[in-house]
Structure 1
Amino acid sequence: MNKPRKQEAQSHHGLPSFRKFGFFHKQWELMIMLPEVAKLRDIFDLFVVSGQNKALAKEAEGDRCLDLAASIELSDVADCLRTMGLSPGGDWLARQLAEQLRRREEMGPLGARIARRASFELVLTLYCKLAARVEGPTAEDVLQVLRSCDPKGTGVLPYCELRHMLTTMGDRLDEAEVFSVLHGFTDIGGNVHYEHLVRQMFANDLHAEEALQQAGLYLQAVGRNAIDMDMDKRDQFIEALRRADPLSSGFIQPDRLLELLNGREERFTGEELQLLTQGMEDTRCERGINYRRFLRFIMNE
C-alpha cells in the first residue's frame, strides 16, 4: 500500500506556504493565486486616470522606474485605502506619504519624476501597514470568551445569558439592539448559536484578515523595490528568462543574462554583472548563474 504523500504546508486560511509563490511569478500569475489581491487591484484601478496617465507615461518613456500609466496621485491614496475598507488617519498617512516623497526625491531625476505618484505596490504596502495597526478583539478572541461559558462545547448559550453580557459589559447595547443582534441566531428553545453569530458579526473582519495575509504574500513575492518599479518590465524580464531556459534548470550563462539585461535598456558591463552575481554561480556543474536568486536580489536590494 502506498503511503499518502505529505501535504504541503499551508496557512490557517488554506493558502499555500510562501515557497509556493516565490519570486519568479508574473503579476497576473500572482493575482490568480491571490484572489483577494486581485480585488484590491480592481479598487486601485478605479483611481487610475487613463488619459492623463498615458500622457505622463509618454513623457517618461524609457525610464526604468514606475509605470506612470498604471499609477495614481498621492492625493488619491487616502480615498483608495478607504475604498479598500480601511480608515487611514490623516496624520499617520501624511507621515507615510511624506516619507515616500522624501525618499524618491533623494533618488535624483528619476525619483523626482515619480515622486507624487503611487503604484499599486506602494498602496498595498500602506494597506498592510494600516491594517496591522487596527486594534480590537478578533472573532477568535470573542469565541474564546463565549466557549469558556460553554464547558460542554454545545455551541449554544441561553439567550438570557448573552443578553446580560451585551447589556452590562463593554460597549453596552439596549434591549432593541440586543434583539436585533440575537434573534436571527436563537432557536425555539431560547438558545443562541453563538459561533454562527460571531462568524456573521466578524465576517468583514475575517475577510479583511485574509486580504491582509494575501497582500503580504504578494509583496514578498514581488520584492520591496516593486513600489518604484515598472512591473510590466519586470514581467517581460521573467518571460525572457523563461524562454532562455526552456528546461527550467534555474540557471543561465552570464553572457546570455547580460544580453537580456542590456536588451531592457540597461547598460551593464560584464564586470558589473560579475560583481552583482557573485555567489550566485553554479560552481559544481557550471550551469551559469542562478537567475531566480538574481531576480530576487535586484527586486530587494
Structure 2
Amino acid sequence: MKSYQINTINNLHKISVAPMMDCTDKHFRMIIRKISSKALLYTEMIVAQSLIYTDKKERFLDFNSEEHPLSIQFGGDNPKMLEEAAKMAQDWGYDEINFNVGCPSPRVCSGNFGASLMKEPIKVAKCIESLKNNCSLPVTIKHRIGVDEEDSFDKLDSFVKEIANAGADRFTVHARKAILKGLNPKQNRTIPPLKYDVVRKLKKNNPKLIIEINGGFTNIDQCIEALNDLDGVMIGRSAYKYPLRWSEIDQKIYGESTKSKKASEIIFSLVPYIEKHLKNEGKTWDICKHLINLVEGIPNAKVWRNEISTKSIRQELSIDYLSKKASELQKMGF
C-alpha cells in the first residue's frame, strides 16, 4: 500500500477540475498537473461497493505523487461500506474525499446513489457522517440544484443545511437540476438550464459554508467573475476537451509568476512518464487519448491528432515518433 505525504488543505480551492467518468484517470490528471500546479484534481467516481469487494484495489486507488492536491470521489449509499472506503482513501494518501450526489446516470441512479440521493437528505447525511467519522480528511459533496420536480430553492437550502450539520466541509453545486427520466447523462449536462443565481442565493443564505459552483464554465474570465460571489469554481468538459485554454490558471487565479507551458513543452515533459508506463506493460493510447486534446487551434491540428491517435491505437507509436511530432509543434511556436 502506498503512503504519500498529504498536502495541507484549508478546504478552499478556487479552481478544481471535475471528476468525469472515462476522462479524469491518473494519466489525464498528470497532463493537467503540467498545466496547473494549484488546481484541485479529482478521480473518476469510484463506487464504494466495488472498491470493497474487488481484489484489485490498486486499480481503483493508484495515483502519482505529482497529482496532489487530489480528491477521491465515492459513490454509494451504504454507510458501512463508505466507512471502509474512507479508511482506504486516507491510508492511500488522498488529500480529501468527495461524495457524489450529482451523477444522473441511469446505472448510478438504479443503484440508489448519485443524483437520486438528493431526494433522501437524511440518508446522505448518514453517509457524510460515516465518511467523516472514519478519517481525518476533509469530506466534501457534489450535488445538483434539484432533481426532477423536487427543484425548489427551499428544498435545496434544506438539503444543504442537513448535510452541513452532518459535517460536510465544502459544497460543489452543479447549477443545473438533474432530470432522471427522459434525459441521458450527456443531455443532463446541457438541456436543464444553468441557474447560477440559485447557487449565489444559496451562498448568500449560508455565508459560513464553503460553496463552489460547477456547470458551463469555458474560460478563466468567467471563473474570476464567479469568484466575486462564491468560494470556488469547478470546471469540467472544457478542461478535458481544451486543456491549454486553461494554461493561465496559476497566474490569473492564484497570482503565480510561473510561465504558461505550450503543448510541445508538456509533451516533452511527459516522455519519462510515458516510458515508465510502457515498461509497466501499459499502452501509449492510455495516455495519448488525453494528450491529443492539447493540440488545437493550430494549422493541421486535426491531422496531427489523427496521426497520433491511429498509431497509438495500433500500438505503433514510438517515443521517438512522438518526440518528432512534438518538435514539429515547437518549431511552429506551439
TM-score between the two structures when normalised by the length of structure 2: 0.25
Relative contact order (alpha carbons < 8 A, sep ≥ 6): 1 or 2 greater?
Answer: 1
Q: Name which one, 1 or 2, has greater alpha-carbon Rg.
A: 1
* Bigger strand fraction: 2
